[in-house]
Amino acid sequence: MKFPIKTVLGILGIGAAIAWSIKGVDFREVGTILKQMDVTMTLGVLVLTTINLLIRAYVWKFIVNPIKRVPIGHAVSSYLIGVFSNLFLPFKLGDVAQGYTLGRREDVSKISAVSAVLIQRAFEISSLILVMLSMAMFFSIPLLFQRRTLLAGLLIMTGIAGLFIMFRKREVVISAVESFLGRISRKLAISVSRGIDRFLAGTKAMHNFSDVVKILSFSLLSWLVQIMMVWLTASALDISIDIAGSSIVLLIINLGLTIPLAPGNIGTFQVFSIIALSLFSVAKPKALTFSIIFQVIQGIPVIIGGGLSLLHESRKNTVTGRDVLL
């Protein structure tokens, strides 16, 4: 039996993150901060969170449309199932659920649908990089210029460029794979080349200028909405940061969330929220309270919408299964 080293390291990482987040925090002070929280502003964050989910679902629809035209309702449903699953599954496995759900409902190759999810993440990261570069023009953020950060950005952009080239040279790539594997097994060569072809089919959105513009525009809009969410949450807790500061906080949190240790990013979300807010001299108890409230508010519409979508999907599959049996 293979030793689950990744799982063990993940659990240790979560434990360490939570322990550091609550170390030295007086929870009576956290309770006092919660009692003084502005409920109206908090409800405003909840509304913006719901709007942001809809924007992200439209990004997903624009990415999938070149493969097959998808109704916005189906795009929203599959996207919510993916985000909902990420609350309970580690290592972003909810992304697989998102692609699989849409692929099954729309009769699209599961491989193409999952590769489309990867393209969605690539666009999200690309738009985040644009936000990072914009912030770097006006603010000094040492984290952006660390060797690891620059290397990660370079690897991401190289990967995106590689997918673009592979799609453009699709026939050459598939032919080369078939030729190489055909020496081992003809059946294996056909199976692998077919899988690569379906995977590359999910990247079609990268090769139409109007699709790219729509996807990037909506991705950037999503980041702007999230910046407002940070600002409103901070204001509700009487944390004094402006829009520019809110964008830096959001940026640092999302850089930290690229480490997908725990379901729902529990622990890592708190650590990087506290680190980000410490740049603005926010005390740890208030920063911890911010991280909890911000994370919980984002989870409410996901749990409701994702749970209902998953329930509807399971019922539909049950009915379809009965129809097939009959």
pLDDT tens for residues 91-137?
Answer: 677 888 888 888 888 877 877 887 788 788 778 877 877 776 676 66
Query: What is the C-alpha separation between 201 and 118, in angstroms, rounded?
Result: 12
Average the pLDDT over 210-220 and give the result: 87
Q: Is the pLDDT of residue 254 over 90?
A: no
Q: Is the pLDDT of residue 2 over 50?
A: no
Q: For residues 215 and 62, is the Cβ–Cβ distance under 8 A?
A: yes
Query: What is the C-alpha separation between 171 and 169, in angstroms, rounded?
Result: 6
Q: Is the pLDDT of residue 166 over 70?
A: no
Q: How confident is the model at residue 296 (pLDDT cuts 50, 70, 90)?
A: very high
Q: Is the pLDDT of residue 39 over 90?
A: yes
HEC string of the chain equals CCCCHHHHHHHHHHHHHHHHHHCCCCHHHHHHHHHCCCHHHHHHHHHHHHHHHHHHHHHHHHHHCCCCCCCHHHHHHHHHHHHHHHCCCCCCCHHHHHHHHHHHHHCCCHHHHHHHHHHHHHHHHHHHHHHHHHHHHHCCCHHHHCHHHHHHHHHHHHHHHHHHHHHHCHHHHHHHHHHHHHCCCHHHHHHHHHHHHHHHHCCHHHHCHHHHHHHHHHHHHHHHHHHHHHHHHHHHCCCCCCHHHHHHHHHHHHHHCCCCCCHHHCCHHHHHHHHHHHCCCCCHHHHHHHHHHHHHHHHHHHHHHHHHHHHHHHHHHHHHHHHHHC
Average the pLDDT over 275-302 and give the result: 93
pLDDT > 90 fraction of the chain, expressed in percent and rounded: 30
Task: Give the pTM.
Answer: 0.78
Question: What is the model's pLDDT at position 87?
Answer: 84
**Among residues 233, 204, 181, 303, which one has the least CA distance to residue 38?**
233
Question: What is the model's pLDDT at position 232?
Answer: 96
Average the pLDDT over 53-75 and give the result: 90
Average the pLDDT over 263-279 and give the result: 86
Average the pLDDT over 16-42 and give the result: 89
Most confident of 39-53, 137-151, 194-208: 39-53
Most confident of 96-105, 167-176, 197-206, 213-222: 213-222
Question: What is the model's pLDDT at position 174?
Answer: 72
Q: For residues 90 and 263, is the Cβ–Cβ distance under 8 A?
A: yes
Query: What is the C-alpha separation between 14 and 56, in angstroms, rounded?
Result: 27
Question: What is the model's pLDDT at position 94?
Answer: 81
Residue type, 28: R
**Among residues 13, 34, 58, 14, which one has the least CA distance to residue 289?**
34
Most confident of 29-33, 156-160, 203-207, 252-256: 29-33
HEC string of 289-315 equals HHHHHHHHHHHHHHHHHHHHHHHHHHH
Task: Give the residue, 251 or 293, on which the prediction is more confident.
Answer: 293
Q: For residues 72 and 301, is the Cβ–Cβ distance under 8 A?
A: no
Query: What is the C-alpha separation between 19 and 266, in angstroms, rounded?
Result: 12
Lowest mean pLDDT among 51-55, 169-173, 322-326: 322-326
